[in-house]
Amino acid sequence: MILKAFENGADGVMVVGCLEGDCHYLTGNLRARARVGRVAKLLDEIGIGGERVQMFNLSAGEGTKFARFATEMVERIRALGPTPVNVRRGGGQKEIER
């Protein structure tokens, strides 16, 4: 699903899970973190860049924290610029819509 987002034109993907130790699915968020790590490695290997995907953890009540994480991610991706795929597609440096 993460890779599909990149295929569909995303320049970065943030994966948000619940707080570690406080997941309704017990270890679901820990497993998700491991899988996100694997995808990041794969993105590095194919020249897209593993820093374009990151997992964040927060609770449903932490709206302010979510906004801060989202801003951090957007700023990081903006600094990285478009993926090589989007450069090839002619997207160039595009503004990330909030």
Partner 1 sequence: MIMGQQKPIRAILDMLAPYDKIVLAGCHGCVTVCRAGGQKEVEILGSAIRLAREAEGRPIEIREVTLERQCDPEYVETMRPYVQDYQAVLSIACGAGVQFVAEKYQTTPVLPGLDTTFIGVTEKQGIWAERCQACGDCVLHLTGGICPVARCSKSLFNGPCGGTTAEGRCEVSKDIPCGWMLIIERLRNLNMLDNYRKILPMKGWRTSRDGGPRRIVREDLTQ
What is the binding site for partner 1 (CB under 8 A)?
3-4, 6-7, 42, 45-48, 83-85, 88-89
Which 8-state DSSP code applies to residue 26? Answer: B
Tell me the C-alpha distance between 16 and 30, whole Å: 12
For partner 1, which is the closer residue by CB, 16 or 85? 85
Q: Is the dihedral of CA 12, 83, 10, 75 positive or negative?
A: positive
How far apart are CB 42 and partner 1 at their closest, in Å?
A: 6
How far apart are CB 59 and partner 1 at their closest, in Å?
A: 27
For partner 1, which is the closer residue by CB, 63 or 84? 84
For partner 1, which is the closer residue by CB, 47 or 61? 47
How far apart are CB 65 and partner 1 at their closest, in Å?
A: 30
For partner 1, which is the closer residue by CB, 17 or 82? 82
49: left (phi over 0), alpha (psi -120 to 50) or beta: left
The H or E element spanning position 31 is helix 28-45
C-beta atoms surrounding 35 within 10 Å: 13
